[in-house]
Structure 1
């Protein structure tokens, strides 16, 4: 019985020793898990492993999310947020011994397409100890010893179909409209070239002149006779 009791205690201690580090992960969850989602709130939880207290958390963003697209929503009291070249850092006064770190950030937009987003995180304690949760979790593989926080995205909504392109074929020509027949313009009749009908009055004047002249000469002669 003593041997069995001793073996049971040692086995229990072994399980606790092995389970301790595995439980002290940094986890992340998202309020939206669709690819391409906007204004997504990420909640990080860093479990305390060192009794000196967590002092800071540095997160490396996955490809497709820029540091400028991340803003702080909530952090432990007294902690500040600072963007880095590849992610961001939250930190400040060390938390109480055994207190987990929780912080929230907002991401402007998730990448498009079904993806697994890994947020590598480096956790620093007040005594200088560093825990690196940076190992990428492979789909279908066993969890690594120090896994990076992971968000698995679902496919986004199907893209809307584009409007059909206009047909390149030329439209059928409309039936030609018959133009009305041109109006026939009648030429004005030419002036008559009959000199007899147009110059008769000239001959009348000539005759009157001859008669008048003859009468004048007769009267003149009579006036000269004694």
Structure 2
């Protein structure tokens, strides 16, 4: 076997392995419980939060989802959307610091929502919609800790927060950024409800894919770069051999 053929095969193998590794990394990074949209304006009213829960297990299905809402900066007027196959349970807590609104003083707020009775199978995800009346205007972000329980009894705790400048933790909690009025990803104060559609796996999904699109474009660019390196190796091999690769 000629040296040129060996060089080309090695370059092809490196390209394939690198591309596969990048795609695998993208899949792992997207398999977290997340909240959509990623940001809202401070004090936004009459909007919707969608908690996306992917199933990460190959041999078990997700049977229970718990989302904990902050009470130090409470979300007011929470309503849970009906979800096929799932039964929601809403828990309220008395606030340490009541919130004054135009409609009066709020002393209680939702602190936990638990969904049971449904199933998210391997390779699927489910969107859980939560409507709100008003977001707080005195903080820059809201952290929604979440617990994901599987049919085999395993519970994944999505509760870790990344410190500024640190890498993303293994089990990050969903975080909603709160921006100055008019600078968020959606509307300045009121964001329309996203349209509901069916995913290829049959689970109900809600449109909010800007983060997935950006991640996909980034990975595609890296893969193209790797393929370019492979092509450069091929050209170098041709130059050394003075013609086409030997058989």
Mark the CA change 1:128 to 1:6 in structure 2 (over 3 Å): closer, same or farther.
farther
Q: Which of 141, 164, 176 is the aligned partner of 1:151?
A: 176
Q: CA deviation at 1:147?
A: 1.3
SS in 2 for 1:59: strand
Contact kept in structure 1, 2:52 and 2:125, CA below 8 Å:
yes
Contact kept in structure 2, 1:121 and 1:132, CA below 8 Å:
yes
Work out the number of aligned pairs and report it: 155
For 2:145, the equivalent position in structure 1 comes to 120
Mark the CA change 1:79 to 1:112 in structure 2 (over 3 Å): closer, same or farther.
same
User: Which structure is higher in strand share?
Assistant: 2
User: 5 Å matches for 1:201-212?
Assistant: none
**Runs of at least 5 residues in structure 1 that lack an aligned partner in the other structure:** 158-226
SS in 2 for 1:21: helix
CA RMSD of aligned residues (A): 2.9
For 2:32, the equivalent position in structure 1 comes to 25
For 1:133, the equivalent position in structure 2 comes to 158
Greater RCO between the two (CA within 8 Å, min separation 6)? 2
For 1:182, the equivalent position in structure 2 comes to none
Contact kept in structure 1, 2:39 and 2:179, CA below 8 Å:
no
Give the Cα separation in 2 of the matches to 1:114 and 1:140: 19
Greater than 3 Å deviation, 4+ residue runs: 1-21, 137-141
Q: Does 1:57 align with 2:74?
A: no
Q: Which of 72, 79, 82 is the aligned partner of 1:71?
A: 79
**Runs of at least 5 residues in structure 2 that lack an aligned partner in the other structure:** 1-7, 94-110, 183-247
Mark the CA change 1:41 to 1:23 in structure 2 (over 3 Å): closer, same or farther.
same
SS in 2 for 1:93: strand
Give the Cα separation in 1 of the matches to 2:28 and 2:39: 29
TM-score of the superposed pair, with normalisation by structure 1: 0.57
Contact kept in structure 2, 1:73 and 1:104, CA below 8 Å:
yes
